[in-house]
Amino acid sequence: EEDGMYHGLFPRRQLWRPRLEYPLWDNDWDQRRPPPIDKLESEEGEGENSKPKMTEAQRDRYIRKKGVTKHIILIRHGQYDESHPEDSKRLLTPLGRKQAELTGVRLGKLIRGVNEEFGPCRVKVVRVSDLARAKETADIIYDNMGVDNDFDGEAIEKGEPDPLLNEGRPCHHIPGGRARASVVKRTDEHHPRIEQAFRKYFFRADMPDLSSVDEEKSESVGGQDNASPSATEEGATEKKLKTHPQHEFEIIVCHANVIRYFFCRALQLPPEAWLRLCTFNCSLTYFTIRPTGTVSCRMLGDIGHLPHELSTFSMHTGFNW
């Protein structure tokens, strides 16, 4: 049966199999769920008087309140010249460069913030695949964010290009016809790499220190005051916006197939649905991963920062295609 075909479409062995059947949610999807409380915490007292230091409900509530939420913003590269087989020549078109510039401007506003209500976001790193069109897009975005490299006292890292994020065929797609032998082979070659990329970048943040769990009732949810310092402080002429210590952002510039596969995997949907989604050039697909491991998508293929005349999907312009 393992060597058989899945409904006559592709080898059954290439079908993604979740650990739990759909639509159940796998709470340990990233293998970072805290262990049962009796394994995590030693007991206080001895014999009949022993009791756990905390219940699992107390621990999970503390993690929700004190843990870090990860924000991952996936950006598809700008439109590029597809007429060359060599990657080094598959560079952005003038339209694609403009798309990247406006994307950088939008992200710069997100990083800087507007006021205390719409505060700045702590972007820690800009990552990118190892293909020319993505690297060029990432460079233009970085140069147009309009923030100093030491913004808010913390550098925004420019990550080394990662070949794991390169474009490819992440898995088969449904609906679709019977896969040719070459497609089966290409899926065998690309799927493990793209799945490895997902596991490398999608996971919940480290669990907060539980040693002060008994003190959490007296502390604010944010863990510290996020309000801007007073303008009357020595040497201060205006309020300085501060990033939130419990929220960390990272930007990943990569490719349409990879983003669509990540979307399905992150939300624990069948990955074979990836081709039903459409992510335009320089669109934003934005996820949050809570410290408890829950995942949500705040944006899918968002191009609100691009005018109509800069809206493209590869060499398709506008929407009449």
Residue by residue, pLDDT tens for the chain (321 residues) are 445 999 999 999 999 999 999 999 999 999 999 988 775 554 555 555 555 577 888 888 999 999 999 999 999 999 999 999 999 999 999 999 999 999 999 999 999 998 888 989 999 999 999 999 999 999 999 999 988 655 555 789 999 999 999 999 999 999 999 999 999 999 999 999 999 999 999 999 999 987 766 555 444 444 444 444 444 444 443 567 888 999 999 999 999 999 999 999 999 999 999 999 999 999 999 999 999 999 999 999 999 999 999 999 999 999 999
Q: Report the largest interatomic distance among the alpha carbons of the chain, rounded to a whole angstrom.
A: 76
CA distance 74 to 301: 9
CA distance 122 to 101: 20
CA distance 232 to 284: 39
Q: Which residue, 305, 312, 247, is CA-closest to 278?
A: 312
- What length is written for the chain? 321
Residue 293 CA to its chain's centroid (Å): 13
pTM for the full predicted model = 0.87
CA distance 286 to 303: 12
